[in-house]
Amino acid sequence: TFSGDARFDGVIFSGEAWFDRATFSGDTRFDWAIFSGDAGFGKTTFSGDARFEGATYSHYAGFGGATFSSYAAFRGATFWGEAGFRQSAFKGFTNFADCKFDGEADFSAIRGETAFSLHGVGFSEVPDFNQAHFEEAPRLDALRIAPRGLKSQISTILEKGFKTDRDLTTATRWSELKRLAVQRHDHQH
């Protein structure tokens, strides 16, 4: 438990960094931190502002089941490995603008209770928003998805149909993104 503000701005974690089930009672800052190994914030509670702006995650970054009670800022963060936010609760304004996700991004079953921005985010794989719930439609403008091997995946599906679980999973993920765009009345995207 961190009872006051906690600042880790610019810190380099050379190995694994595990904060699972931690409680941050004040404002928390990991701006421009570098996580060289796995980083775990599973089921962590952030009562004040939680800032991870410009942070770099070289491997797994796990925030599954975390609770963000106030402002959550990941603006400009880079996730080179898997990023897991499954079942996290975002109660205040949440900002993922301009992030880069080079691995799998799991936002399944998250709950966004206020504004949620994915403006300018780049994904190298189709992100998972299955069963995500937003009180207010998330901002998706300028979002980019450029999955590796997408052209060959589409060709295979068109020629042979859905043959693997991965094909069905990818189709489901696209459907969830469509649902979010429709919720925002952004039919073009």
pTM of this structure: 0.84
pLDDT value at 183 more than 90: no
Report the side by side order of strands in the sheet with 50-51.
6-7, 28-29, 50-51, 72-73, 94-95, 116-117
Q: How confident is the model at residue 172 (pLDDT cuts 50, 70, 90)?
A: confident
Show the tokens assigned to 56. 């770099």
Comparison of pLDDT for 153 and 120, the residue scoring more = 120
Q: Give the per-residue pLDDT at 173.
A: 72
Write out pLDDT tens, residues 100-146. 999 999 999 999 999 999 999 999 999 999 999 999 989 988 889 88
Question: Which strand ranges, in their side-by-side order, compose the sheet holding 23-24?
Answer: 23-24, 45-46, 67-68, 89-90, 111-112, 133-134
- Cα–Cα distance for residue pair 121/78, rounded to 1 Å: 10
The DSSP code sequence of 59-75 is: S-EE-TT-EE-S-EE-T
Task: For the chain, state the CA radius of gyration.
Answer: 17
With a cut of 80, say whether residue 168 has pLDDT above it: no
> Which residues on neighbouring strands pair with residue 39, listed in sequence order?
17, 61
157 or 91, which is more confident: 91
Q: What is the pLDDT averaged over residues 158-186?
A: 63
Would you state the pLDDT for residue 161? Answer: 54
pLDDT grade, residue 188 (50/70/90)? low
- What is the rounded (10 degree) CA torsion for 38, 44, 49, 51? 0
